[in-house]
Amino acid sequence: MGLTGLTSITFLGHATLRIELDGAAFLTDPILRTFAWGLVNRQPVQHIARIVDDIDDVLISHLHRDHLDLASLHRLPGNVEVVVPLGGGDVVRHSGFARVRELTAGESLNVGGVQVRATPAAHNGFRPPFGPVAECLGFVLEGSRRIYFAGDTDIFDGMADIGPVDVALLPVAGWGPRLGPGHMGPAEAVEALSLLRPRLVVPIHWGSLVPVGMHLRDWSYLTQPPQSFAGLARQARPDIEVRILEPGQTLDL
């Protein structure tokens, strides 16, 4: 368990975050290695043992390999509970994890007094190359604060029902120079702010993963999205605080 009363968010790159809320510690969509499925992690996670040794639950938003990486899961304690979308449990169980919980949108569980509620997401739930297909989820952590982890999603009907929240963790890019369907870029993420009505927003899903070969130089598409998002958000919603975290940085609330 995390430290009682401490609320903090540590951005570890891409969609990997350590969230501590009211004594419970969560890890989202962990990518904890340098090379994963043709992608290079430009800012691999340091001090893995310190980050993961007291995690209560791992929250997996969907089955894409940049969000559900089994090799990264095996760097976690073997008794950790892994929460996956409905249809994804067997992938994790067959990899050797005994404590696996499947949730569908609208369902919830209690972790050390923190309510973890699964929310919808507009994304493709197929795990390449051979499947299976599972739901795509976001998660709202509800305790002394409400924290929304969007995972990987486009704007969807019902997003307004999630808000208001204290903190929104919103994707603003991808790992390639172009975004396909089921993603938000900076402009779409700003539009989502008016639906979610957060007090504070942290842009995620940018800058860390890049295809092998393209990692040998810096590309503006990797580093510019959070800055573009912050600029657009200041114009459209100056009442909402934007905090850009570099991988490894922690926001204490």
Domains and CATH numbers, the chain: 8-245 (3.60.15.10)
Per DSSP, what are the bridge partners of residue 102? 84
Contact 125, 136 (CB under 8 A): yes
Query: What sign for the dihedral angle of Cα 247, 248, 249, 252?
Result: positive
Question: What is the reported pLDDT for 76?
Answer: 92
Q: How many CA atoms lie within 13 A of 137 on its CB side?
A: 31
Q: Which two three-digit tokens encode residue 17? A: 């975050």
DSSP the chain: ---TT--EEEE-STT-EEEEETTEEEEES---SSEETTEEESSPPS-HHHHHTT--EEE----STTT--HHHHTTS-TT-EEEEETT-HHHHHTTT-S-EEEE-TT-EEEETTEEEEEEE-BS--B-TTT--B---EEEEEESSSEEEE--S-B--TTGGGT---SEEEEE---SSSS--TT---HHHHHHHHHHH--SEEEEES-SSEEETTGGGS--HHHHHHHHHHHHHHHHH-TTSEE----TT-EEE-
Question: What is the reported pLDDT for 48?
Answer: 74
CA distance 137 to 109: 14
Q: How far is CA 97 from CA 62, 94, 100, 117, 135, in A?
A: 17, 7, 7, 22, 20
Question: What is the reported pLDDT for 222?
Answer: 82
CA distance 21 to 25: 7
pLDDT tens for each residue of the chain, 253 residues long: 444 457 899 999 999 999 999 999 999 999 999 888 788 888 777 777 678 879 999 999 999 999 999 999 999 988 899 999 999 999 999 999 999 999 999 999 999 999 999 999 999 999 999 899 999 999 999 999 999 999 999 999 899 999 999 999 999 998 877 777 889 999 999 999 999 999 999 999 998 888 887 666 677 778 899 999 999 999 999 999 999 999 989 999 8
